[in-house]
Structure 1
């Protein structure tokens, strides 16, 4: 795969990521804690465990984007400062209290995911494009639906769901379109877009692994509650 051919426009990295990860995206929605959340069958404890284990991944991604703020491609992506890590921390405090870091475990799958993103930030950081696509565009798409589901199924308050709010932007749909364009602009500068596309597949696989790990961790809790 090349960034462009003599007879075509540059390849859209977002479009390439979409087609490469489409099946994995469907799998992610049908497995683990994500499936339970979408069906309204997850517990507050399961949702909290997911949040706690996503946090290191967001920290790694946001740290990586900040490091590459001055680069021609990633600089355009980084300037949006979507910064979900502080929002996740705020939600964990609101739901669990200030001792959330002590009380809610970090699972091996969460650590593996964060390490992969930190690795992607090395060098020119180009592979961060795949993780920004997976997480941030997901937050701006399905995340908005999930927020409404959580309000109903888990009776969470708006103050406990700031992860899905983007208060610095008045129009989430416009933000999503603009962010997609920024990712494509960064992708147009790649010498080998396929590296980023394959990183997208890895990102979705790590999300699936984490989702399943959270669900597995919650099974004993659910069994005890059913007794």
Structure 2
């Protein structure tokens, strides 16, 4: 009986969490045309806090040989998010945004993983965010460009100029996941952390919907 590659097991075991996140009402409305430009900006603002935490946490793993297989400046999103927010909100954008409750919890979790130097946990969040950006994120950017007249300004977050072939990059990433020598217990921990990341994503969309309703 063949052993399922870890990357395949990870995808299959976390698919329901991924589907729940993609199907959240706020995101569905935004993609189908019921959302507004302001809704999109609200999403970008929350991404800023998440990626600030994730890319800051990467420094804690500078000497980690496992993380080194996945971490690359070609994925870095924070400068693009800052440029998007400057375009969307103006030079004072930092004073005009704040993390929602789920975003704060998400950021706290990423920071805790970094403090514990848990490389598997960091890779779980790294995988969830960046492979999602290179997959569904590309569709999101095209929809936002079409709906709101963006070119590259406003959607720079989704544009990976240094990754010519996203599909090939993702396959290489999955191959690296299969080569990591985690034991069965650690692989289970990583899968659980990916599921947690997807849950944060879903709950963030719920937060965004509540914030919109209260505005």
**What TM-score, normalized to structure 1?**
0.85
Q: 2:160 aligned with 1:166, yes or no?
A: yes
Equivalent positions of 1:13-162 (< 5 A) are: 13-121=6-114, 122-162=116-156
Q: Is residue 21–residue 202 contact of structure 2 (8 Å, CA) maintained in 1?
A: yes
Query: Any unmatched runs of 5+ in structure 1?
Result: 1-6, 222-227
| Pairs aligned (count) | 212
Q: Report the Cα distance in structure 1 between the residues aligned to 2:57 and 2:98, rounded to whole angstroms.
A: 24
Match of 2:182 in 1: 190
Deviation string for 1:192-225 (max 9, x for gaps)?
A: 210000001100000001111011111244xxxx
Q: Report the Cα distance in structure 2 between the residues aligned to 1:184 and 1:129, rounded to whole angstroms.
A: 13
Q: Is residue 109–residue 209 contact of structure 1 (8 Å, CA) maintained in 2?
A: yes
SS in 2 for 1:98: coil
The 1:12–1:69 alpha-carbon spacing in structure 2 relative to 1, beyond 3 Å, is: farther
The 1:189–1:60 alpha-carbon spacing in structure 2 relative to 1, beyond 3 Å, is: farther
Q: 2:212 aligned with 1:218, yes or no?
A: yes
Q: Is residue 28–residue 35 contact of structure 1 (8 Å, CA) maintained in 2?
A: no
Q: Report the Cα distance in structure 1 between the residues aligned to 2:5 and 2:59, rounded to whole angstroms.
A: 24
Q: Alpha-carbon deviation of 1:22?
A: 0.9
**What TM-score, normalized to structure 2?**
0.90
Q: Is residue 29–residue 35 contact of structure 1 (8 Å, CA) maintained in 2?
A: yes
The RMSD of aligned alpha carbons is 1.8
Q: Alpha-carbon deviation of 1:129?
A: 1.5
Q: Is residue 46–residue 103 contact of structure 2 (8 Å, CA) maintained in 1?
A: yes
Stretch deviating more after TM superposition (120-129 or 22-31):
120-129
Query: Any unmatched runs of 5+ in structure 2?
Result: none
Match of 1:3 in 2: none
Q: Is residue 55–residue 85 contact of structure 1 (8 Å, CA) maintained in 2?
A: yes
The 1:24–1:145 alpha-carbon spacing in structure 2 relative to 1, beyond 3 Å, is: same
